[in-house]
Structure 1
């Protein structure tokens, strides 16, 4: 498993860094396996980079949270969301 340089000195922090890297690897592998079952073969990191343009932000007024807002989803992402069966998540306001 390839893990980028670790700049932690305490053993517990090193272990937790490795745990997080493994968790990210496991989630990526799981997504990839599920997407292959659906016939989608694009690499997981590339797809996630494309989906990063979708944002969920909290609107504040006078320092207090008012509501959550979802950014406008680029129409170019609709085919991708359709292939991954994620489009229903964004159908309802």
Structure 2
């Protein structure tokens, strides 16, 4: 059963400092998720920790979790070039957006 009301879900893309790695994820709380990416568990083997993907460069807002998950999977299946095109149209300079959330 679906809950009634407004819910926020975000599909987001993180990168590393040199912008050579891209990570796509989905969350219902972008600010908290960014915190956990930046402060991983000490012995975590997470992709974002291994490749130091802590910098937000793209995000989309959805109100339905199924739609958000579908979009995340869609973007994950894209080529690097297609992801770069998406990011560049949202964030022309590929600025780190962590502080704007």
Report the structure, 1 or 2, having the larger strand content: 2
Report the structure, 1 or 2, having the larger helix content: 1
TM over 0.5: no
- Greater Rg by CA: 1
What TM-score, normalized to structure 2?
0.23
**Larger RCO, structures 1/2 (Cα 8 Å, 6+ apart):** 2
